Amino acid sequence: MKKILIIGKNSFIGSNLKKFLSKFFSVDIFSYENIIFQNEIFFKKYSHVINTSIHPYYQKRKYNEKFDLDLKFIKKFKQINFIYIFLNSRKIYTLKEDISENSKKKPKCNYGNNKLTSERLLKKILKKKLLSLRISNVIGKKFILNKRQSGKLFYDNFLEFRKIKKKLVFNNEFKDFITIDQLSEIIKKLIQKNINGIYNVSLGKKVYLSEIIHWLDKDFFSRVKFNNEKLDSFTLSNKKLTKTINISINKNQLKKFCNKLIKK
C-alpha cells in the first residue's frame, strides 16, 4: 500500500487532500515546522510527499532561497526515494487560451516568477522523482481556518464581495477553474500510477465570471453588472493530463459543485 506524506496540515489544499486521499492510501499530515527537523529514516516509509505549505514572503517578494520551502526540504532530503509532488501555478504562463505545458513562460507577478524558479531548481535535483502540477484556480471551501495563509483564493474574494449590498461592476473575463474534489481525484490517480513529469491541472474550458457567480449565488449575481472586458482571461490545456490518467473533467461537474458550495 502506498504511504503519502502531506506537508501543510492547516492549508486549504493540504487539509482537503488528507480527507480525500485517506480513503485510498495511508496518509500522514504534518506542519512544515514539525517535519523539517526529522531525519532521513523517517521519510523512507513514504512513496509520495506533497508539500502544500508556503512561506508568506514567497508570494510577496522576489525569489530568495530562504523563502523557498520546497527547495529547502528537497536539499535536506534529496537522497530519499519518494516522488515529490510540487504544487505549481498557472501564473507562470503568458495569459492566452489553450496554454500547453510547452507554452511561453512569462510570469506577471512575484508568485509566478518564484514558482517557475522553484520548479526549475527542483527538476535539476529530482529529475524523474518530480511531479510538478501547474494548477489553475482551485475552488472549494476551507474547513480549517488558517490565519497564516498568505493569499486569497477566488472563493475567498467571492465571499467578501458577496457581503457588499450595492451594485457591483465586474469584467466578464473567462478563467480556468478546477474544484478541490477534481484536484484531489487527479492527484489520487497520479499517485496510483506513479506518474512523474510536468502537467497542467485544469478544467481546460472557458468559465466566464458571470457563469460561475450565477452558479454560486443567483441573488448576488443579480446585483452585479458584467462588462465585456477580458484583460486577464486564460485557459490551460489539460490534454496531456487527461490522456495520461484517463480521466474526464467537465464543466457540469464544476457547476454542480458550485451549486452546493454556499449551502454547505
Between 264 and 165, name the one with better pLDDT: 165
Cell numbers standing for residue 166: 450595492
Report DSSP state, residue 253. H
Binning pLDDT at 50, 70 and 90, where does residue 119 land? Answer: very high
Separation CA 85–CA 202 (nearest Å):
16
What share of the chain has pLDDT > 70, as a percent?
Answer: 96
Q: What is the full DSSP assignment across 182-249?
A: HHHHHHHHHHHTT--EEEEES--S-EEHHHHHHHH-HHHHTTEEEES--TT---B--HHHHHHHT---
Residue 80: pLDDT band (50, 70, 90) is confident
Q: Delineate the domains of the chain, giving CATH numbers in brackets.
A: 3-261 (3.40.50.720)
Which amino acid is present at 150? S
Arithmetic mean of pLDDT over the chain: 92
In tens, the pLDDT along 203-237 reads 999 999 999 999 999 999 999 999 987 778 999 99
Write down the pLDDT at residue 1: 81
How many residues can be counted in the chain?
264
pLDDT above 90: percentage of residues in the chain = 81
**pLDDT for 78 beyond 90:** no
The mean per-residue pLDDT over the stretch 190-194 comes to 97
pLDDT given at position 84:
97
Residue that wins the pLDDT comparison between 200 and 10: 200
- The set of cell numbers assigned to 75 is 536539499
**The three cell numbers locating residue 22:** 485517506
Please tell me whether the overall predicted TM-score, pTM, comes out greater than 0.85 for this model.
yes
The predicted structure's pLDDT at residue 211: 96
Say what the pLDDT of residue 244 is. Answer: 97
Task: Give which of 17, 8, 10, 6 is closest to 182, Cα–Cα.
Answer: 17
